[in-house]
Structure 1
């Protein structure tokens, strides 16, 4: 059983939202999808088979196999997602938003389906199909899940090119790309930014300017040069995405020869980000020992 009842609600809600995006924007505008849903949509276009029933039938042998390999909890979460998409894709067939602009339809489809899948993935659940295959191949062959999922999507899109045409395949790829970005946003949260690691002989001047100009905290890390063997301090600072350029400008003005690396940071929690916006709470910096 799922430990948190809210996870059930998230999976069901995500399945509903995904199904609305599928029917309202993809199917209504004769676009395709990747994975097993994509196969089901193609069968709908060619043979008028219901998407929900086809998707459910395709997943039955995979769920049985996954039960034997991964156990009850994974299959339970996946089964809820599979049943949810199968049922809601039929119940929401009346929701149609046809448009003459397929690019616009692809963008809307990507956003809505991405939100739905993101909610499901946040719980650790899936919608079965290609995801189960990817997990099985990783379990037995050590293959990366991302590569397997990408391969399956490419195969489905290639079939779309043959059966429906290049234009539909192109817009379907746009929808898949947008959906993947929205999924990342839903899973990682809106509170994300950039982390800067700055190596400079003028580290204290940089710290002072960051505190005064951005009112962001910094951390000084004790490090040792691998080549010189000299001890030095490294400045570590986490800022919002819109503040990265300002930090870079500060570093360049203080020390144009400074070594700077920038990396993505997700789910930021703490002073200056989730504890309110009182500047007095962000000015201090920590010394790491």
Structure 2
């Protein structure tokens, strides 16, 4: 393996963990600065922790800390997950969970006294959704109900993990409605919706790429220029022009959204008469794009 590949691998590794750290901090910010002060139970372990904190206030001064309840929930979940899934499965989740718990501990709970609950749910959902999207984009998780849904799925194979998560989070939101009232529960559902949209937007945005088909008699020169200047692979596909009945090579290349402009510039500079087709790619897995992880 060349030194350049080793360096790139280290950079990607570092970038992944920085993404997890920033994402976990954003998630903790949404909980400690918006959801907990406003009493918005948005599901998940953090939502249940907000309920437990409120219930235990008469017993414990200030209630049971959210970070402590998160630890108490995740310890048995980690134990059963390791037992059923093995250590390899849990390693990618462990770092995200620890970072999230530390962020919950360090970030103080501040009540900004949002007079508009709708505005609070929008802000919380946006910040939390960005955090979840970043953590998931790094192929990690913050544990909690994600792990619980995975464990339940082992016994209920006919039910998908997202479906199990919906049921679990729905039950937690219902409990939150009993403690904080129906109005807060409805605002919490709005926050959940925004969280899902923002996190999906981040994940889909990272997965999107561009695909280019280039038809030209100068296909060799164009392919060499693309591989040399962009360090991208190019595939030559045998094609036949039905009008001219002439055999030629059609170039196929998948690049990032930023690189597609360069592809067109290279192609048109070498062959102004070339025919270029550009389309969206919903997801690209492999070298130079998203690494597939089981």
Unaligned residue ranges in structure 2 (runs of 5+): 1-9, 57-62, 212-238, 240-252, 269-274, 279-294
How far off is 1:11 after superposition? 1.7
**How far does the alpha carbon of each residue in 1:61-109 deviate from its partner, in whole angstroms, 9 at most, with x for none?**
1101111222223312222222222221121124443210000000000
Distance 1:179 1:72 in 2: 30
**2:135 is equivalent to residue 120 of structure 1:** yes
CA distance in 2, matches of 1:82, 1:54: 13
Q: Which runs of 5+ in 1 are unaligned?
A: 196-220, 222-267
Alpha carbon RMSD of aligned pairs, Å?
3.0
**1:270 Cα deviation after fit:** 3.3
Tell me what 1:275 maps to: 260
**1:35 matched to which residue of 2?**
44
Matches within 5 A, 1:33-72: 33-47=42-56, 48-72=63-87
**Residue in structure 2 matched with residue 187 of structure 1 by the alignment:** 203
Taking structure 1 as reference, are residues 82 and 270 closer, same or farther at Cα in structure 2, changes over 3 Å only?
closer
Distance, in Å, in 2 between the alignment partners of 1:96 and 1:145 is 34
Q: 1:7 aligns with which of 13, 16, 33?
A: 16
Number of residue pairs matched? 216
1:110 aligned residue: 125
Q: Take 2:135 and 2:73, find their aligned partners in 1: how far apart are those partners?
A: 20
User: What secondary structure sits across from 1:31 in the alignment?
Assistant: coil
- Runs of 4 or more, structure 1, over 4 Å off, are 190-195, 277-283
Give the drift of 1:5: 3.3
Are residues 158 and 5 of structure 1, via their aligned partners in 2, closer, same or farther at CA, if it must alter by over 3 Å? same
Distance 2:112 2:263 in 1: 45
String of CA shifts for 1:20-59, please: whole Å, max 9, x gaps. 1111121222222211111111111221110000011111
Q: Distance in 1 between matches of 2:256 and 2:14?
A: 30
TM-score by length of 2: 0.65
